[in-house]
Structure 1
Amino acid sequence: MSRLTHLDDGGRARMVDVSDKDTTARTARAEGQLRCAAATLDLVRAGKTPKGSVVQTAELAGVMAAKKTAELVPLCHPLALTKVDVAIELDESLPGFRVSSEVRTVGQTGVEMEALTAVSVACLTLFDMLKAVDRTMAIDGIRVIEKSGGRSGSWTAA
């Protein structure tokens, strides 16, 4: 493994200088899930949750979070995002919600952190909006599943 790029020679944290990197189209997709009781899914499907439009609110929260990633993660570069899409699907087999994001930019650094932040905050928003009716919920499986662009090229999770 190569040396850690976010540490200087003295071991201090630093934001990586990307000014000499090529500007390329970059995309990242991430996924995660929130597991809950089957009865919680039934409430969401019926539109009877105490806090309203759970899925739509969480999707919007994910989009907003992707745009704020550099404010939340100390060494991330602020990026001009050209696309943020967050989708949440109810899944009886979990039971729970499958959350996915796709983020794009044209720039000098990737958007993996923005995709992960979108999924994370969407899951947190689901949790927040449903905690009054379900204390058994768990967020898991948050990961990057695909990225493209930049010097390292394309990558897809196995």
Structure 2
Amino acid sequence: MRELTHVDENGVKMVEVGHKGEVFRKAIAKGRIHLRPETIELIRAGKTKKGNVIAAAQIAGILAVKKTPELIPLCHPILLTGVDLTFEFGEDYIEATCEVRAVYKTGVEMEALTGVSVALLTIWDMVKAVEKDESGQYPVTRIENIHVVEKVKAQVQ
């Protein structure tokens, strides 16, 4: 059985990675936001009142990746080498994909998950006025299936 690395007999701790060598790390995370088809069309046409939804979501997601150790208490600050946030449109959803890269002693999965999460939350925030029903509820809008789809750990060449 595997043991928890952030908890020991003394309580909570940040895992020691000083003894590890630096290697190339990459993580890709995905998630979806479901929206009304009419909202998807507004986003595609650039006709939302708050501005360019996708550009705002990209910027917010990238900023979130960089701020992950401030948001998740036991994450190590990592010098990132690159972040890409892309979006794929469906009829009633937008799927966000966040790829994070670094050469470091620990992985970047939490950064990729954070980037996807904040990008999707930003989309929701920017379109909530057209997603609400007459009673102010969100009958269609939902974020789902945020997960790591790939993790890479490889020697630097």
Q: Tell me if both proteins adopt one fold, taking TM over 0.5 as the criterion.
A: yes
Measure the CA separation in 1 of the matches of 2:45 and 2:66: 31
- Of residues 91, 97, 100 in structure 2, which corresponds to 1:100? 97
Give the TM-score of the pair, scaled to structure 1: 0.90
- Of residues 127, 134, 137 in structure 2, which corresponds to 1:130? 127
2:3 matched residue in structure 1: 3
> Which amino acid is the alignment partner of residue 139 of structure 1?
I
Identity %: 49
1:18 matched residue in structure 2: 17
- Of residues 120, 145, 148 in structure 2, which corresponds to 1:141? 145
Where in structure 1 do 4 or more consecutive aligned residues deviate above 2 Å? none
1:156 matched residue in structure 2: none
Q: How much is the aligned-residue C-alpha RMSD, in angstroms?
A: 1.3
Measure the CA separation in 1 of the matches of 2:12 and 2:125: 32
Measure the CA separation in 2 of the matches of 1:31 and 1:65: 15
- Of residues 115, 120, 123 in structure 2, which corresponds to 1:118? 115
| Number of residue pairs matched by the alignment | 148
> Which amino acid is the alignment partner of residue 153 of structure 2?
G
Post-superposition offset of 1:150? 6.4
Structure 1 residue runs without a partner (length 5+): 152-158
1:155 matched residue in structure 2: none
SS at match of 1:132: helix
2:76 matched residue in structure 1: 77
Measure the CA separation in 2 of the matches of 1:65 and 1:150: 25
> Which amino acid is the alignment partner of residue 4 of structure 1?
L
SS at match of 1:110: coil
Measure the CA separation in 2 of the matches of 1:33 and 1:91: 10
* Stretch deviating more after TM superposition (98-107 or 45-54): 45-54
